[in-house]
Amino acid sequence: MRSVKGLRPIIYLLFLGSSWGLYFSLLKVAVLSGISYVGIITLTTLGVGVGMTTIALLRGRKPRFSCRHNVFYLVCALSGYLVPMIAELLVIAHMPAGVLTLIVSMSPLATLLIAWAMKTDTINLPRVAGIVLGAFAIFAILLPDVHVGEAVAWQWLLMALIVPVSYAVHHNFAARFWPPGSDSYQVACGEAIFASLLLIAFAGFNWQWQDVQSWNQGHSAIVFMAMIALIDIYIYFELIRLKGPIYTSHANYFMVVSGVLWGMVIFAERPSSLMWVSATLLIASLYLIGTRKTDEDSSHAKQI
């Protein structure tokens, strides 16, 4: 029987996937209330930045801002926030949402390839099998709702691929270039501050002032998203530190399943029967992708 400490990465991963899936429902609430997509992302990230800064001040361990640390925060903010957000905004009007979701769910596969190229994580047959099995599980959920026959111009498909690749770069870059002497909270705070500044600058060209004029249900959803993200960002970097980018990227698979389940709870949506088959496949996938020796986990944590 595994100890509680040994189960911590699995609990972190499931929580991360569940909360990421909840964002879809909260995002829908915010959009239906009339707040723009750019406004939602910017206000949420700004809230996370303020929250992280407050936590850093209370802990007495502020993020470091040396040249190396700043480059790390900037690259993480670009690859984890601004670049995928811009790509999604550009392509969403040119392809079905199901196709875009299917492409974004390829992030673990992209993470695996980049991890192999950068040697940022341990690659073995069970972990590759786990990633592939997870991909089949997600395809089982999404393919019935994807209009395969609908033509999508190749340039939009290529641009959509930027999203999973960007997330994969974020996973591996964080593992490979983790700034020395910084804990997960400090790294999360530094990234949140840089992401807030970048998104505020980007929103300056796309801002809609009605996004902040009067409080409504959408603003409450944004506050809730920011509160959850405060926990998520720390857990994300802690998983990167403990288990590496491949394991952490698996949260993207659970995000799709949890997104369906949250839709059932909040909007009374009815998922297809394949969703339950997919959930079973994901459990098997999680077991395979977690197959790594304890000494490998320890050596990875020490390296960063």
- Label residues 119-156 b or e (16+ Cβ within 10 Å = b): ebbbeeeebbebbebbbebbbbbbeeebeeeeebeeeb
- The model's pLDDT over 140-182, given as tens digits with 9 standing for 90+, comes to 766 665 554 555 677 888 888 898 999 999 999 999 999 988 8
- The model's pLDDT over 246-303, given as tens digits with 9 standing for 90+, comes to 888 888 878 877 877 777 777 776 656 666 677 777 777 777 776 554 444 544 555 5
Q: Which residue, among 122, 137, 168, 126, has the nearest Cα to 255 in the 3D structure? A: 137
What angle (nearest 5°) sits at the alpha carbon of residue 118, between those of residues 115 and 119?
70
Q: 47-51, 102-106, 158-162, 173-177 — which is least confidently predicted?
A: 102-106
According to the model, what pLDDT value does residue 74 have? 96
Judged against a pLDDT cut of 70, whether residue 96 lies above it is answered with no
Provide the pLDDT confidence category of residue 53 given band limits of 50, 70 and 90: very high
Average pLDDT value for the chain: 80
According to the model, what pLDDT value does residue 189 have? 93
Residue 78: CB partners within 8 Å, gap ≥ 6? 198
Sign of CA dihedral 69, 72, 78, 81: negative
Instruction: Compute how many other C-beta atoms are within 10 angstroms of the C-beta atom of residue 186.
Output: 20
Residue 10: CB partners within 8 Å, gap ≥ 6? 286, 290
* Residue 6 Cα to chain centre, angstroms: 23
Contact in structure between 91 and 159 (CB atoms under 8 Å): yes
Which span out of 70-79, 112-121, 139-148 was modeled with the highest average pLDDT? 70-79
Contact in structure between 233 and 48 (CB atoms under 8 Å): yes
According to the model, what pLDDT value does residue 295 have? 44
The percentage of residues in the chain with a pLDDT greater than 70, rounded to a whole number, is: 82
Provide the pLDDT confidence category of residue 121 given band limits of 50, 70 and 90: confident
CA distances to 175, 237, 239, 242 from 184, rounded to whole Å, are: 12, 6, 9, 10
Residue 190: CB partners within 8 Å, gap ≥ 6? 63, 64, 65, 69, 72, 73, 182
How much is the average pLDDT of 77-102? 80
Contact in structure between 31 and 272 (CB atoms under 8 Å): no
Provide the pLDDT confidence category of residue 195 given band limits of 50, 70 and 90: very high
Judged against a pLDDT cut of 80, whether residue 206 lies above it is answered with no
According to the model, what pLDDT value does residue 290 have? 65
How much is the average pLDDT of 7-26? 86
* Residue 118 Cα to chain centre, angstroms: 20
According to the model, what pLDDT value does residue 1 have? 45
Alpha helices (H) along 33-153 = 37-59, 67-77, 83-91, 97-104, 107-118, 125-142
